[in-house]
Chain A
Amino acid sequence: MKISRKKHHKPILPVNSMSDIAFLLLIFIMLISLMNYRREIKVDYPEAVFQEITQADKNLEIWVDVNGRLFIDAENIDLNKAEGLIAESIASDPAVRIHIVADKNTAYRNINQIMEVLTLLQHRVLSLVVKEKQL
Chain B
Amino acid sequence: MKIRRKKRNLIDIADSGALSDLAFLLIVFFIVIAVFNINKGFLLELPEKNSNRIVSTDDLIRVDISNTGLLTANGSPVEIRDIEKMVAEIRKVHPNMTFALIIHPEAKYQCVVEVVEVVRQMEVENFSISMMEDKN
Contact = CB atoms under 8 A, between A and B. Distances in A.
Contacts of B120: 50, 52
Contact of B114 (A25, A48, A53, A132): A48
B49 interface: yes
Given A10-B12, A104-B108, A123 B46 contact: yes
Contacts of A118: 46
A36 interface: yes
Given A48-B114, A55-B38, A112-B105, A128 B48 contact: no
Contacts of B27: none
Interface size class of A (residues with CB under 8 A): 35 or more
Contacts of B18: 18
Interface residues of B, number: 44
A33 interface: yes
Nearest to A64: B109
Contacts of B116: 128
Contacts, number: 146
B33 A36 contact: yes
Contacts of A102: 109
B105 A125 contact: no
A44 B29 CA distance: 27
Given A13-B13, A15-B10, A36-B33, A54 B110 contact: no
20 contacts: A12-B11, A13-B10, A13-B13, A15-B11, A32-B30, A32-B33, A48-B42, A50-B117, A51-B41, A51-B117, A52-B41, A104-B110, A119-B47, A119-B49, A125-B43, A125-B46, A127-B41, A130-B40, A130-B41, A132-B40
